[in-house]
Amino acid sequence: MSELQRVIKERRSIGRVKADSVPKELIEQMIEAAVWAPNHHGTEPWRFIVMTGEGRCVLGQAYVDFAAGALQALEGDELQERIAKEIAKAYRSPVVIAAICSPSANPKAVRAEELAATHAAVQNLLLTAHDVGLAAIWRTGDPAYHPTMKAALEVAEHEEVVGLIFVGYPELALHAGKRVPGAEKTRWIEE
């Protein structure tokens, strides 16, 4: 098995990480790998927002804003506990990277391809995190796609948040992965 195949097969989504800070150089290495993802017409439709330290409070406030509807019914200690819980989501790891798809104005660019290229960039980022000894998890869902998140991260109307990548040193050992073999998911058309 090649080193690349090993990294691909060993990488796992790890949500529990240590609070230890991550050197800026490792994050830059992850992002440098990300920008080498394939992209049609050479549009490079991605950008990244790295949040560390108290920079994560922007994300914490976005989680609070997203939950505003549910928070309206709460009062007092219950309200404060729920707000604290929402803010704490941003502090689950020492580094959070927002991956943004910024589609090109190139008339040949197809939005679906721009999103796919940004997703490929995130995969490169995740593989590199594993390769340098970090744990990472790509989180999406309603909060990531909501207008409150776009506003908090200053994402333009034509752009999309494709995910929030939480990064740190793993707190737990990696678990073994399992997949259905590729042969069972493949149909060959031959002469």
What pLDDT, in 10s, does the model give residues 99-141? 999 999 999 999 999 999 999 999 999 999 999 999 999 999 9
pLDDT attached to residue 5: 92
Q: What letter represents residue 150's amino acid?
A: K
Say whether pLDDT at 174 is over 80: no
Instruction: Assign a CATH topology to domain 11-51+92-174.
Output: NADH Oxidase (3.40.109)
Q: What is the pLDDT of residues 18-69, one digit of tens each?
A: 999 999 999 999 999 999 999 999 999 999 999 999 999 999 999 999 999 8
**Phi, psi (rounded to 5 degrees) for 11:** -60, 135
User: Is residue 178 over pLDDT 90?
Assistant: no
1: confidence class by pLDDT, cuts 50, 70, 90: confident
Q: Give me the pLDDT at residue 191, please.
A: 85
The larger pLDDT score, comparing residue 27 to residue 72, is at: 27
* Beta pairing partners, 164: 98, 139
Residue 69: the pLDDT is 87
For the chain, the average pLDDT equals: 94
C-beta neighbour count of 135 within 10 angstroms = 24
DSSP conformation letters of the chain: --HHHHHHHH--B---B-S----HHHHHHHHHHHTTS--GGG---EEEEEEEGGGGHHHHHHHHHHTHHHHTT--HHHHHHHHHHHHHGGGSSSEEEEEEE-----TT--HHHHHHHHHHHHHHHHHHHHHTT-EEEEE-SHHHHSHHHHHHTT--TT-EEEEEEEEE-BSSPPPPP----GGGG------
